[in-house]
Structure 1
Amino acid sequence: MALLELINVPLQAAVWFGVLGLPPSPANLAGFAAFALLLAQGASYWIAKLRQLGSGASALPGATAFALALRADPPVLFAVVMFTGWSALNAPGAATYLGLGFAVFAVLEYVNYFYTQLSYDNIADLRYLTARGLRRAHLAIDLERHRAAQARSRPGAPPLPR
């Protein structure tokens, strides 16, 4: 998974801006940057998860950084969606629609990584989806474990925000 996420960033740039020749306008680049940021975070998570599983550690490496991303991403994504949406309304066309599409995709990736799994791309996932509905994201589960471990290590401290 991590490798696919990382390959997708330059691949998508090459296809959209190179092969198809869409303009690297401010709106398109802003949307693409948000998309690339979320794919890089997703790749980082899968790399950390592989390290955790390989080492047998109970804690996810870098969990604090992912908890920070959980909080920092929404205002960034909001700003990018607002900018690309405003751009698409004021100058509709190839110089803005791609950026808005990338921005919306970045928001969906954020939900997919940090809250609810939206990607069901294998038989086991599809069976789960049809039998039980949407599944909590793997990173969301790991961050909940991280919060619980932090709370246990600080008795009497107020609970950490979700």
Structure 2
Amino acid sequence: MDPGRPDALRAAIERRLRSLAVFEAANIPLQAVIWFGVLGLPGSAANLAGFALFALLLAEGTAYWAAKLRQVRRPGRRLPGLTFFRVVRVVNVPLLAAGLALAGYAVATDPGRASWPGLGFAVFAVLEHVNYFHLQLMHDTVADWRRLRRGGLHRSHLARDLRRTRTRPGRQYIRLPPPA
């Protein structure tokens, strides 16, 4: 790929966004099979609630990367689903708090395989919420690591999209060269 060519850059961005959406979606059933099938975790209330929160956040991540891909394919358009992402950013907070409370109570009253994994799933869901809606915690590319070393944590892509459209009314434009 020649990064100087706009069509090559666009194709690389589209591949990255598609892979992010696919891997987030694939992780939901994959993790269910690993934890509850292969490892045989009990389907306790704490474990299922924690996993449900984890799956919910992965589904929201899938929706975001798919929306971002649609936006990149149609330059000059707002991010599809902005209202949805604004709503779930707020709705997630009490859901995550309730899930953490349920799992925390289960760990305090009956620690073991029926509670600790649920708490772990709930904590991971909270971290995913922060990663999507506030600060980028996931750093999986060389560019991400360089940016982290230079300036520390920074706003997540979704947080920037939500902020950009809140502070500037009208259409939200993505700055990519037009297709060749």
Aligned to 1:128: 147
Unaligned regions of 5+ residues in structure 2, if any? 1-19, 172-180
State the distance in 2 between where 1:86 and 1:66 align: 30
Give 4+ residue runs of structure 1 displaced > 6 Å after superposition: none
Q: Deviations over 1:130-154 (max 9, x none)?
A: 011112100000001221244x69x
Deviation of the 1:103 alpha carbon: 0.0
Find the partner of 2:116 among 89, 97, 114: 97
Partner amino acid for 2:110? Answer: A
Partner amino acid for 1:31? Answer: G
Partner amino acid for 2:61? Answer: G
Aligned to 1:159: none
1:44 aligns with 2:63: yes
Aligned to 2:74: 55
How do 1:70-109 and structure 2 match up within 5 A? 70-109=89-128
Provide the TM-score with structure 2 as the length reference: 0.82
State the distance in 2 between where 1:148 and 1:65 align: 18
Find the partner of 2:37 among 18, 30, 53: 18
Aligned to 1:68: 87
Partner amino acid for 1:137? Answer: S
Aligned to 1:119: 138
1:28 aligns with 2:28: no
Aligned to 1:3: 22
Q: Tell me how large the CA RMSD over aligned residues is.
A: 1.2
Aligned to 1:158: none
State the distance in 2 between where 1:57 and 1:99 align: 42
Identity among equivalent positions (%) equals 53
Provide the TM-score with structure 1 as the length reference: 0.91
Unaligned regions of 5+ residues in structure 1, if any? 154-162
State the distance in 1 between where 2:168 and 2:82 align: 11
Partner amino acid for 1:115? Answer: H
Deviation of the 1:126 alpha carbon: 0.3
State the distance in 2 between where 1:104 and 1:47 align: 25
**Corresponding pairs, count:** 152
State the distance in 2 between where 1:56 and 1:122 align: 24
Per the alignment, in what secondary structure is the counterpart of residue 139 of structure 1? helix
